[in-house]
Amino acid sequence: MAGALTEEFNPAPLVAPTRLTPRASFLKGRHFLSVNDLSTEEIEQLFDLTREIKLGKAQNVASGKCAALLFEKPSLRTKLSFSVGMSRLGGQALYFAKEEVGLGHRESVKDAARVLSRMVDVIIIRTFDHRNIVELAHYASVPVINALTDLEHPCQALADFYTILEYRSETRGQKLVYIGDGCNTAISLMLLAPRLGTHFTLACPPGYEPPAPLIAQARELAAWHSTTFEISHDPVAASNDADILYTDVWTSMGQEDEKAKRLADFAGFQIGAKTLREAKEDALILHCLPAHYGEEITEDAVDSPQSGIFDQAENRLHVQQALLAAVL
């Protein structure tokens, strides 16, 4: 991990290495910016720790420690889960809204990283531009955790796969169909899925795919781990024989000006009667919330016995507690 460096910062390419060498130690002192930062073995270790924490076996590992939450985007689940998680580990979390820091405007990313590193033990950031979090980690001497950027939502993806594991007892061989655009959540899921032996299909309208380099990486990962990766423009056909159906809002934060166009382009890209008829009879329904009923998902689907959506939301707390315990 880099400390307070003095050389000019040049951001590295946004696509991380496809294969990682397992580390001898676990995650202590490590940044978590992308699902690419963890090997399969480390993910499994993290899930084992999550299970212990959820059973109430968490120790006071954060006693006397403090987390800084830098949030440039509004949040319910992310702010709540990290704040409660840090408290339950015996530490505390301090929340900073966009106006309080002005990252990259009122204060440079480099200076914010160096100041925070002298006063807190971990930095949790929710921002727009992924380059901000890469730069923050470059200059920080404490762990930096990605709580969402426009490129990835890795904590969400970990909680999603932990939820799948709880419901299915196995992630290997499962078919996950994501219905929506190639957003940050979809990117983290498609890069994590092959590492856990899960087949992944993205069903999106033409023109809403993830960036081409990330598609190439997902294909390479799938080939390496003997899983499948597909992109479909037909949500009903893509849902055939799905073990898990997953969706997210059609219009994410920062895309409000595109809402009318997206409502038209995504018509039919919904978890509802048509897609559920094609999926397996006991297909698990997931959504990272907030949900817009009647758009990407029907209210009946959210409330159905097949829905794991609110367990999925709760698991953000347990997985992130495990992540905090591992890096501190």
User: Who's near 25: CB < 8 A, 6+ residues apart?
Assistant: none
List 30, 130, 131, 156, catalytic entry: 156
Q: Are residues 228 and 268 in the same domain?
A: yes
Cα distances (Å, whole numbers) of residue 280 to 177, 272, 276: 11, 13, 8
Buried b (16+ CB within 10 A) or exposed e, 310-324: eebbebbbbbbbbbb
Residue 191 lies in a domain: yes
Boundary residue ending a domain (110, 132, 151):
151
Q: Clarify whether 153 is annotated catalytic.
A: yes
| Whether residues 212 and 267 fall in one domain | yes
The single residue of 153, 199, 287, 318 carrying the catalytic annotation is 153
Residue 231 amino acid letter: I
Do residue 225 and residue 85 come from a single domain? no
DSSP string of 146-160, one letter each residue: ES--SS--HHHHHHH
Q: Is 131 a catalytic residue?
A: no
Nearest to 109 by CA among 79, 130, 78: 130
Active site residue 320: no
Q: Distance of alpha carbon 266 from its chain centroid, rounded?
A: 22
Inside any domain, residue 218? yes
| Catalytic, out of 155, 183, 204, 288 | 288
C-alpha 260/C-alpha 164 separation (Å) is: 33
- pLDDT tens string, the chain, 328 residues long: the values are 333 333 444 544 444 333 333 332 379 999 999 999 999 999 999 999 999 999 988 778 899 999 999 999 889 999 999 999 999 999 999 999 988 887 878 899 999 999 999 999 999 999 999 999 999 999 999 999 999 999 999 999 999 999 999 999 999 999 999 999 999 999 999 999 999 999 999 999 999 999 999 999 999 999 999 999 999 999 999 999 999 999 999 887 666 788 899 999 999 999 999 999 999 999 999 999 999 999 999 999 999 999 999 999 999 999 999 999 999 9
In a domain, 269, yes or no: yes
Other residues' Cβ atoms within 10 Å of the Cβ of residue 73: 16
Q: Is 277 tagged catalytic?
A: no
Number of domains in the chain: 2
pLDDT of residue 148: 97
* Both tokens assigned to 231: 């992109």
Is residue 19 part of the annotated active site? The answer reads no
Q: Which of 30, 77, 126, 199 is catalytic?
A: 126
Of the candidates 316, 318, 320, 321, the residue annotated as catalytic is 316
* Same domain (yes/no): 242, 129: no
How open is the CA angle 91-130-87, to the nearest 5 degrees? 10
Residue 65 near residue 121 (C-beta atoms within 8 A): yes
> From residue 126, how far is each of 8, 90, 253, 258 by CA, in Å?
24, 23, 12, 22
Co-location of 163 and 261 in the same domain: yes
- In contact, 50 and 318? CB cutoff 8 Å: yes
The pLDDT, as a whole number, for residue 10 is 53
With respect to residue 200, please indicate whether it lies within any of the assigned structural domains. yes
Q: Which residue of the set 248, 262, 318, 320 is catalytic?
A: 248
Q: Look up 111 and say whether it is catalytic.
A: no
- Boundary of a domain, candidates 131, 151, 171: 151
Judgement on whether residues 111 and 201 belong to the same structural domain of the protein: no
Q: What is the pLDDT of residue 17?
A: 34
Residue 33 is assigned to a structural domain of this protein: no
Q: Is residue 177 part of a domain?
A: yes
Do 160 and 307 have their domain in common? yes
Q: Are residues 179 and 226 in the same domain?
A: yes
Is 257 a domain residue?
yes
Degrees, nearest 5: CA angle 192-195-199: 80
pLDDT value at residue 2? 36
Q: Is residue 30 part of a domain?
A: no
**CB under 8 Å to 180, separation ≥6 — which residues?**
186, 203, 204, 247, 248, 249, 250, 266, 269, 296
CA–CA separation, 221 and 223 (whole Å):
5
Domain that holds residue 246: 156-313
Give the pLDDT of residue 18.
33
Of 151, 173, 195, the residue that ends a domain is 151
> How does strand 175-179 pair with strand 122-126?
unpaired
Half-sphere exposure of 224 (CA within 13 A, CB side): 16
Question: Is the bond preceding 290 in cis, omega lying within 30 degrees of 0?
Answer: yes
Identify whether residues 202 and 145 lie together within a single domain.
Answer: no
Bridge partners of 32, per DSSP, are: 145
Same domain, 63 and 181: no
Give the integer Cα–Cα distance in Å for 240 and 43.
28
| Structural contact between residues 18 and 318, judged by C-beta atoms closer than 8 angstroms | no
* 232 shares a domain with 132: no
**175 plus 88 within the same structural domain:** no
CATH code, domain with 104: 3.40.50.1370
